[in-house]
Amino acid sequence: GMMTIAKRLLADGYYLSGVPGFYRKQEQWNFLSESRGILLPVRDLNGRIQGLQIRRDNTSKRKFRWVSSGGRPDGCRAEAWTHLAGTPRETVILIEGPLKAYIVHELTGQTVLAVAGVNALSHLELQLTELQKLGTKKIMTAFDMDFLQNPHVENGYRNLTGILGKLGFQYGTFLW
């Protein structure tokens, strides 16, 4: 069950307090699972899990959801974190969604930074500043083509390029 996940992580030396999805139930650590799907760890620049997304099975709406245990004992709410697949390098690909980042990194070997969506940029500027300190100079965006037709997404993309320009990154776009 879900308690087994928590027990295994604790046995491996992981600290669960402050990780969304985990909470205490009658002094035992437990894991909140709302529905079936693929659990995706969302990692920071040091490879540490900062949150989890679930790619839900059998749904057509909101396939990807953040796992959150806010409001439960020792629980923690989720935020729209960025996810890094690979190690920081001079050029980094910026993509939408941790699952795509994992796949692109595995298939190409490139370092990929993921945002939850082109309008979920709250943690991005901090991560880009950290990547810059580690030698990243160029960001290549690789978002789905719908940003060309969707005004809501297009506005988010304009905000993104504003952040990249302000921080002094070279940037371009991969179309796919």
Q: Name the residue with tokens 């009658």.
A: 26
**Position 110 pLDDT exceeds 80:** yes
**What are 6-17's pLDDT values in tens digits?**
899 899 998 888
Find the mean pLDDT for residues 27-53: 86
Q: Are 111 and 105 within 8 A, CB to CB?
A: yes
pLDDT of residue 18: 82
Q: What is the pTM of this model?
A: 0.84
**What are 65-101's pLDDT values in tens digits?**
888 999 999 898 988 899 999 999 999 999 999 999 9
Cα 82 from Cα 98, distance rounded (Å): 8
Contacts of 83 (CB under 8 A, 6+ apart): 42, 43, 98, 101, 113, 114
